[in-house]
Chain A
Amino acid sequence: DTSLAEVNSFLPSMPISPSSMTNQYKFEDEPELRDLFITVDDPESHITAIETFITYRVVTKTSRGEFDSSEYEVRRRYQDFLWLKSKLEEAHPTLIIPPLPEKFIMKGMVERFSDEFIETRRKALHKFLNRIADHPTLTFNEDFKIFLTAQAWELSSHKKQGPSLLSRMGQTVRAVASSVRGGAKNRPEMFTEMNDYMETFSQKINVLDKIAHRIYKEERDYFNEMKEYGPIHTLWSASEEDIADSLKGVASCIDKCCKATEKRMAGLSESLLPILHEYVLYSEILMGVLKRRDQIQGELDSKLDALASKKTEKDLFSEDIGKLEDKVECANNALKADWDRWKQNMQCDMRSTFINVAENNLHYYEE
C-alpha cells in the first residue's frame, strides 16, 4: 500500500472541459459521437520506504448508461497501465492494442524522473487511453471500465482476481511452443500480405524515427550557434557610427530567426517525434498480433493433424475442433477489421502529422 510521505506536483492540472480535450489530439471518430472523454494529467511523485514512483490523475467524463456516475477521478501508476494492457491482450488476442510508452528509455540521457521524461510519458498514456476509448470493441471492455472508475484499493483487489502470474507464464510458454509448431503453414494469403507489409513498414518507420531525431539534433545545434551570431553584430555596432544602425538591425533579425527556430524545434518534438515513436511501437505490436493469430491457427492445425492420425477418437476431437475453428474464424475477422481500421488511422495520423510539419516549416520561413 502506498503511504504518501512526500508529494511533489510537477505540472499544473490540465483544463478538464471536453472541448479542450478534443483539441488536444485529433481522434479517429468524430468528436460529437464520442461519449467517453478521458484525460491523463497532474503527475505526482510518491516516496515510500521501499520505492519512489509517479502517479497520474485519470479523469473520465461519460454519458454512458453502464457507468454509475458521469464523472470519475482516479490516480494510476505506470504498473496499472501495464496491467490494463495485458488484460486487454488476453481478452482480445488478435485485436490491435495501442502501445504504451516504454518502461525506460535506453539510449537517452533522460533520467527516470526528469520533467521531460514524465511529460512525454504522460502524453503517451493519455493517448493510450483515448485510443482504447475510440476502439469499437475495446471501449466496452470490463477491465477498462474498472481501470477508469475503481479506487486504488478496489483496483488492487480486482487485479489479484485474475489468473496468477504462474498460470499466465504457462500460457505464454504454450503459445510460444505452438507457434514453433508453425501456424504459418495454412496461413491465409491475406495475412501473409499483412506480414510482409508489416516487415517493410516496421523498417521504414524505424528509419523515419531516426531521421526525425537526427533533424531535431541538427536543428538544436544550429540554434546553439545562431544564439552567438546575433550578439556579435551588436558588439560590432558599438565601434561604428555610420553603420551602427544597420548592424543592430541585422542583430535583431538574427535573434528573431533564433526564436523561429526554437518554435520549429518545439513543433517537431511535440507532434512528429511522438507520432513516429508511437508507430514504431505499433509496428512491434502488429507483428505480435500477427504471431498470435498464427498461434491460434497453429492450435487448430495441430489438432487437425492429430485428428488425421487418430481417426478413432473423432468424436472427442470434433467438439474441440469446432471450437477451435470458431476461434480461428473470430480471430481472423477481428484482426482483419481492426487492421483496416488501424491502417485508416495510420494514414490519417501520418497525413496530419506531416502536414503539421510542413506548416511549421512554412511559419518558420515566413517569420
Chain B
Amino acid sequence: MEDCLAKKMEITVSEAEKRTGRNAMNMQETYTAYLIETRAVESQSEGQCVPVDSLWRRYSEFELLRNYLSVTYPHIVVPPLPEKRADFVWHKLSADNMDPDFVERRRIGLENFLLRVASHPVLCQDKIFYSFLTQEGGWKEVVNETGFQLKADSRLKALNATFRVKNPDKRFTELKHYSDELQSVISHLLRVRARVADRLYGVYKVHGNYGRVFSEWSAIEKEMGDGLQSAGHHMDVYAASIDDILEEEEHYADQLKEYLFYAEALRAVCRKHELMQYDLEMAAQDLTSKKQQCEELATGTVRTFSLKGMTSKLFGQETPEQREAKIKVLEEQIQEGEEQLKSKNLEGRDFVKSAWADIERFKEQKNHDLKEALINYAVMQISMCKKGIQVWTNAKECFSKM
C-alpha cells in the first residue's frame, strides 16, 4: 500500500460557522464556513504537543477542488461530496441548508471526503489538494491558474447525450449499466426508508398520548391509580426514544447516499472513456476519408459521390497544378492524422489500464463499506428492539399492579 497522505497527516473538519459576506454580484449572502484542521502525524510519536494548522473553507471551495480533481484525473473514481441540498427528507427533518442538523451532517460528510481523497494512492499526491488543506489565501487563484477548466470537456455536461460508438469496450458498458442500476436502487431505497422512518415516528409518538391520558385517568382511580400513572411514564419514555433512534439511522442513510453519489462518479469515468473512444473513432474515420480523397485525386477516379467531384464535372476539371497542391496538403494532413491517431490509441490504452486499476480498488472499497453499513444498520435495529423490550417489560409490570 503506497504511502498516502492520510498516514502522514491527521485531517479533521472540526467546526462549522455561519458567516455573512458579499457574493460575486455584490449582494449580501449567508453561508457556512468549515474549519479544516491538519496536524502532522509523525512528530506526535515523540510525545510533543504538535501545533495544529487550520483554515476555513466553504462548500463552494470544496466543489471547486472536486471539479479540478475530476478533470485532472479522468480515469479515477473521485470521491463525492455530501449532498448540496437536503434530499430524501421525511417530515421531521428540515430541508433547510442552514438547519443545524443538516450542517452537522454536512461537516461529517466533508471530513469524510477529505479523508477519502487523502487515502487515495493517486489523488493524495496532488499538489492542489495539499494546498487546499494548507494554503489559506489565494488558493482559488492557484487552482484557476492550472487552466483545468479548459481541459474540461463540455460534452460531459450533457449527461444523457449519446455518442454512437462503433466498438464499445464491453467492460465499460457493463460498468455503466451497473452504475445506473446502483443509482436507481439506492435512491429508491432511500426514498422508502424515509417514508418508513416517518411512519415509525408516528407510531412511537402517538403512544406518548397514552402517558397524558393515563395520568389524568389515574387521578380518579384508587386501586388502579399507581399502576396507571407509572405505566404512563413508560409510554412517555417510549415515545421519546424514537428521536435518538432515527438520528442514528440518518447516519446510515448518509453512508448509502455517499455510494449513491459514488455511482455517479463511476458513471463519469465510463462516460469519459466513451468519449475518448468516440474521438478515436472519429479521428480514424477522418483519416480514412482523407486517404480516400488523396487516392481519388491521384488516380482521377471518383469512387464515392462528392460535391467537389460533381462541381468539377459541371464546371470543368482542375489544372494539374491545383491537383498537385491539394494532394500535398492532404498528405501532410494524413501524416499528422496518423500521428494523432497513434497517440490517441496510446492514450486510450493507458486510460483503460489505470481506470481499470482504480475501478478494482473502488469495488473492494465499496463492498467493504456497504457490508459494514448493513451490519451497523442491523445492530441499530437490534438496539431499538432491546429498548422496546425494556420499556414494554416495565409497562407490563405497571399494568400488573393495576
The answer to whether the Cβ of B49 comes within 8 Å of any Cβ in the partner chain is: no
Q: Which residues of the partner chain B approach A246 to less than 8 Å between Cβ atoms?
A: 370-371, 374-375
The answer to whether the Cβ of A6 comes within 8 Å of any Cβ in the partner chain is: no
Asked whether B192 lies within 8 Å of A225 as measured between CB atoms, the reply is yes
Asked whether B213 lies within 8 Å of A207 as measured between CB atoms, the reply is yes
The answer to whether the Cβ of A32 comes within 8 Å of any Cβ in the partner chain is: no
Q: Which residues of the partner chain B approach A23 to less than 8 Å between Cβ atoms?
A: none
Bound complex: CA A338 to CA B381 (Å): 49
Asked whether A242 lies within 8 Å of B385 as measured between CB atoms, the reply is no
Interface residues of B in 188-216 (CB under 8 A from A): 188-189, 192-193, 195-196, 198-200, 202-203, 206-207, 209-210, 213, 216
Bound complex: CA A359 to CA B188 (Å): 35
In the complex, the 7 A-B pairs of residues with the closest C-beta atoms, listed nearest first? A358-B396, A222-B199, A365-B388, A242-B367, A361-B392, A218-B202, A354-B399
Asked whether A201 lies within 8 Å of B220 as measured between CB atoms, the reply is yes
The answer to whether the Cβ of A350 comes within 8 Å of any Cβ in the partner chain is: yes
Task: Say which residue of B196, B223, B389 sits within 8 Å of A362 (CB atoms).
Answer: B389
The answer to whether the Cβ of A186 comes within 8 Å of any Cβ in the partner chain is: no
Asked whether A214 lies within 8 Å of B206 as measured between CB atoms, the reply is yes
Asked whether A204 lies within 8 Å of B216 as measured between CB atoms, the reply is yes
Q: Which residues of the partner chain B approach A207 to less than 8 Å between Cβ atoms?
A: 209, 213
Which chain B residue has the least Cβ–Cβ distance from A233?
A: B189
The answer to whether the Cβ of B402 comes within 8 Å of any Cβ in the partner chain is: yes
Task: Say which residue of A215, A225, A226, A366 sits within 8 Å of B207 (CB atoms).
Answer: A215
Q: Chain B binding site: helix, strand, loop or mixed by DSSP?
A: helix
Number of interface residues of A (CB under 8 A): 42
Bound complex: CA A114 to CA B111 (Å): 59
Q: How far is the CB of A249 from chain B (nearest CB, A)?
A: 8
Asked whether A362 lies within 8 Å of B202 as measured between CB atoms, the reply is no
A333-356 contact mask (Cβ, 8 Å, vs B): 1 or 0: 000000000000001001100110
Which chain A residue has the least Cβ–Cβ distance from B395?
A: A358
The answer to whether the Cβ of A173 comes within 8 Å of any Cβ in the partner chain is: no
B376-402 contact mask (Cβ, 8 Å, vs A): 1 or 0: 011001000110110011011001101
Asked whether A365 lies within 8 Å of B389 as measured between CB atoms, the reply is yes
Task: Say which residue of B378, B393, B402 sits within 8 Å of A350 (CB atoms).
Answer: B402
Bound complex: CA A365 to CA B381 (Å): 10
B351-389 contact mask (Cβ, 8 Å, vs A): 1 or 0: 000000000000100010011001101100100011011
The answer to whether the Cβ of B185 comes within 8 Å of any Cβ in the partner chain is: yes
Bound complex: CA A208 to CA B375 (Å): 39
The answer to whether the Cβ of A177 comes within 8 Å of any Cβ in the partner chain is: no
The answer to whether the Cβ of B181 comes within 8 Å of any Cβ in the partner chain is: yes
The answer to whether the Cβ of A232 comes within 8 Å of any Cβ in the partner chain is: yes
Q: Which residues of the partner chain A approach B294 to less than 8 Å between Cβ atoms?
A: none
Task: Say which residue of B188, B192, B206, B377 sits within 8 Å of A215 (CB atoms).
Answer: B206
The answer to whether the Cβ of B178 comes within 8 Å of any Cβ in the partner chain is: yes
Asked whether A358 lies within 8 Å of B202 as measured between CB atoms, the reply is no
Bound complex: CA A207 to CA B216 (Å): 11
Which of B182, B193, B202, B381 has its CB near the most chain A CB atoms (within 10 A)? B202
Bound complex: CA A240 to CA B189 (Å): 15
The answer to whether the Cβ of B224 comes within 8 Å of any Cβ in the partner chain is: yes
Q: How far is the CB of A339 from chain B (nearest CB, A)?
A: 13
The answer to whether the Cβ of B130 comes within 8 Å of any Cβ in the partner chain is: no
Asked whether A229 lies within 8 Å of B196 as measured between CB atoms, the reply is yes
Bound complex: CA A239 to CA B363 (Å): 13
B7-47 contact mask (Cβ, 8 Å, vs A): 1 or 0: 00000000000000000000000000000000000000000
Q: Which residues of the partner chain B approach A218 to less than 8 Å between Cβ atoms?
A: 199, 202-203, 206
Q: Which residues of the partner chain B approach A347 to less than 8 Å between Cβ atoms?
A: 223-224, 402
Contact of A354 with B231 at beta-carbon distance under 8 Å, contacts A229-B193, A246-B371, A361-B392 already known = yes
Q: Which residues of the partner chain A approach B163 to less than 8 Å between Cβ atoms?
A: none
The answer to whether the Cβ of B148 comes within 8 Å of any Cβ in the partner chain is: no
Asked whether A351 lies within 8 Å of B402 as measured between CB atoms, the reply is yes
A55-79 contact mask (Cβ, 8 Å, vs B): 1 or 0: 0000000000000000000000000
Q: Which residues of the partner chain B approach A232 to less than 8 Å between Cβ atoms?
A: 185, 188-189, 192
The answer to whether the Cβ of A243 comes within 8 Å of any Cβ in the partner chain is: yes
Bound complex: CA A341 to CA B32 (Å): 68
Which of A239, A253, A358 has its CB near the most chain B CB atoms (within 10 A)? A358
Bound complex: CA A214 to CA B181 (Å): 38
Q: Which residues of the partner chain A approach B377 to less than 8 Å between Cβ atoms?
A: 250
Contact of A221 with B392 at beta-carbon distance under 8 Å, contacts A232-B189, A239-B178 already known = no
Bound complex: CA A85 to CA B321 (Å): 122
The answer to whether the Cβ of A152 comes within 8 Å of any Cβ in the partner chain is: no
Asked whether B378 lies within 8 Å of A221 as measured between CB atoms, the reply is no
The answer to whether the Cβ of A105 comes within 8 Å of any Cβ in the partner chain is: no
Q: Which residues of the partner chain B approach A350 to less than 8 Å between Cβ atoms?
A: 224, 402
Q: Which residues of the partner chain A approach B196 to less than 8 Å between Cβ atoms?
A: 222, 225-226, 229
Bound complex: CA A239 to CA B375 (Å): 19
